[in-house]
Structures are given as structure tokens and as C-alpha cells.
Amino acid sequence: MARFPIHVRYPLARRSPGTELVLRSALDWERDVVPVRADGNLFEFELVAPAERLFLDYKPCLRERGVFQWSVGDNYVTWSQEAPHEIYPRFLDSHGTLSPHFTVRSRAGAVYEVRVYLPPGYEENTLKRYPTLYAHDGANVFVPEESVGRVPWDLDDTHDLLDTMAVIDKVIVVAIHARAGARTLDYTEPGFHEYARFLAEELVPAVDASFRTLAHSSQRATLGSSLGGVVALHLAWSAPETFGKAACLSSSFGYHDDLFARIAREERRPVRLYLDSGWPRDNFETTRQMVQLLVQKGYVIGQDLVYFAFPLALHSERYWAARVHLPFQYLFGRAWNTPL
């Protein structure tokens, strides 16, 4: 027989007294499966199926005051193995929340506009903690009215679609707007040293103190395009104890930075990296050169380094928006039967 252990974490005490949490599955969508063990907010289930079944669709459900309610979203899928499939469902049809702009002043006196995206279910299932993604050129990632050419990356929509597909862990996105007239200063040498210090020593601790984050470098990534990709790699290389992952799209390596020289002479950092570019004239050659250098430093393509080249892709928000799902999946992809 194939066994499918499932752990559901949900703050049931916040619901009406007497509310029950059960499962329904593809074995019989009309039959309730009750937990084999319940301990506070943890509900443990075990589904048993014929040995030839390799995966199983299922959904948590609530019985509350005589009303039967399915969890929001598509079916969960689990694979037959010993490790429990751990999930944090939601039952309110909520959407992600994009905060208003707020300003953060660094100790050096620089003022940044920041927006934070909280994923669906953040307010309902308060047991869940989240990885974080720090996005540069933050004006371009959410809202058309703020973006270059009114074409945003739609990070929130891309995130929610990938979450619905159950291929990523939900993520808190912190979008840092480039300062007017100071983008090049913050994203290139020598100014990017102070910008990186501000993020690692001031902004990240503030975010971790304000939101339910997974406060470990392995759960924290940074992302940018063009010069934003340069500063993303600089952050991971300079502060790997804070940023364990970086995504660098169409990065202008070598324009006004010392990354080639530093990476060549310094020890390899324990970080995971995503690099890409379009072709032609989309920083194709410099990105290939950086990938080659990283491989020489010991990074392995397909393990801690991913690289893509996109034929005829241009240096623009529209093309970055179309492929941002790839770094999302690489940096926050959910291994089978790890927490959602």
C-alpha cells in the first residue's frame, strides 16, 4: 500500500467553537478523513492508497456551524513517501495585500520609498512564516502608473499564479524604489557599498521585526534587472550571511563595478544565483562572462547557479516581466513534500 502522511497547520481556535478540520481526497471526494492526531494547531492525517498510486490530490475542509467549506485554491498534491506533506491552508477568499508607500531613512541620511507585498492568507493563517524577496527598482514591479512605460513586472500576479500551481513557497516581496537622480549611485561602485549596508543592517532587520519572515539567509533573496541585477549580485557576494540567493536579469556587469575582479580573487560565497540575458545587445556577452567566472569559482550549473539566454529578448520591463517566473521557481521552488 502507498501511504501519504499529511500535516495541516491551521489556527482552528480562531474559528467558531466546535469547528472540525477534515480532509477530502481523490480516493473519495465525498468522504471525510479525520486526523489521526491533533495537537493544538497541528492536524496529522494519513491517507492510504493502492501501491500503484504515486501521487494524490486532496483538500483540507472545515465543518463550522453546519456549513461545509473547502479550502481556497486548487487541490493540494502529495507524493507517496515517508516525509509528511506540511501545508498552511486558508479558507477565506483573500488576495495578497500591497502596502502603501512608506519611507525609510538610512543612518547615512538617504531616503527610500518602499512597498511590501503580503501573500494571500497572511492575515488568516498566522502560523505561517515566509521567505522574503528584496526587489530593486521597486517602482517597476507592481503598479503600471509607477513603472517605466507603464509596464510593470506584475510580481504579485506572477507570485499568486505560481502559488496556485503549488510550485513555489509563498513569499513576502519588499520593493525598494530607486532614488530619483541617485539610482546609478546606489547600484554601482562605490555607492552600492553603502546601499548594501543599508539593506543588510537596517532594512532587513526592520522587515524581520515587522512581519512573519523566515529570518535566515537561505530564505532571503534579492532581485534586479540591468544595474539592479548588478547590485543584486553585489548584495549576495558582499553579505551572504544576509542574502543567500540572488536573481540578476540582463545585468550590466562591468559598467561601473568591480564584481569581475572581486569574484575572481575572493573565496566562493555559499549563495544560489540566477543569471540571464536576452540576445542580442541585452548584456549577453557580459552575462556569459560572469557565468563562466562563477563556474570557474566552483558554482555548478543546475545546482547553485542557473543561467538562461533568451533569443531576441529586449532590454525592457516587458521582457523581464515575461520571464520573472523562472527566478521565482528557482529561488523559491518547493521541493516535493516540503512546506507550502
Quick check: is 56 in a domain? yes
Residue pLDDT, tens place only, 14-65? 999 999 999 999 999 999 999 999 999 999 999 999 988 989 999 999 999 9
pLDDT tens digit at each of 340 positions of the chain: 899 999 999 999 999 999 999 999 999 999 999 999 999 999 999 999 998 898 999 999 999 999 999 999 889 988 877 688 899 999 997 789 999 999 999 999 999 999 999 999 999 999 999 999 999 999 999 999 988 888 899 999 999 999 888 789 999 999 999 999 999 999 999 999 999 999 999 999 999 999 999 999 999 999 999 999 999 999 999 999 999 999 999 999 999 999 999 999 999 999 999 999 999 999 999 999 999 999 999 999 999 999 999 999 999 999 999 999 999 999 999 754 344 3
CB contact at 8 A, 124 and 212: no
Name, in order, each residue with C-beta under 8 angstroms of 237's C-beta and a sequence gap of 6 or more: 259, 262, 263, 266, 269, 271
Quick check: is 338 in a domain? no
> Based on the domain organization, do 71 and 148 belong to the same domain?
no
Amino acid code (one letter) for 96: G
Give the Å distances, CA to CA, from 19 to 16, 58, 64, 65, 216.
Answer: 6, 20, 5, 7, 35
> Based on the domain organization, do 229 and 187 belong to the same domain?
yes
> Based on the domain organization, do 78 and 109 belong to the same domain?
no
> Based on the domain organization, do 318 and 207 belong to the same domain?
yes
Number of domains in the chain: 2
CB contact at 8 A, 67 and 18: no
Nearest to 248 by CA among 182, 293, 194: 293
Q: Is 133 helix (H, G, I), strand (E, B) or coil?
A: strand
pTM of structure: 0.94
Alpha-carbon torsion angle 280, 286, 292, 297, nearest 10: -160
Quick check: is 11 in a domain? yes
DSSP symbol at 136: S
Residue pLDDT, tens place only, 168-189? 999 999 999 999 999 999 999 9
> Based on the domain organization, do 17 and 108 belong to the same domain?
no
> Based on the domain organization, do 59 and 136 belong to the same domain?
no
Euclidean distance between the first and final Cα of the chain, in Å? Answer: 26
67, 87, 107 — which closes off a domain? 87
> Based on the domain organization, do 175 and 126 belong to the same domain?
yes
> Based on the domain organization, do 39 and 176 belong to the same domain?
no
87, 119, 141 — which closes off a domain? 87
> Based on the domain organization, do 53 and 113 belong to the same domain?
no
> Based on the domain organization, do 122 and 213 belong to the same domain?
yes
Quick check: is 269 in a domain? yes
> Based on the domain organization, do 32 and 110 belong to the same domain?
no
Quick check: is 339 in a domain? no
87, 108, 136 — which closes off a domain? 87
CATH of the domain at 78: 2.60.40.10
Q: Which domain holds residue 44?
A: 2-87
Dihedral sign from CA coordinates of 214, 215, 221, 227: positive
pLDDT at 340: 38
Quick check: is 17 in a domain? yes
> Based on the domain organization, do 83 and 206 belong to the same domain?
no
Quick check: is 92 in a domain? no
From the DSSP assignment, how many helices (H) and strands (E) are in the chain? Answer: 9, 18
CATH of the domain at 313: 3.40.50.1820
Quick check: is 234 in a domain? yes
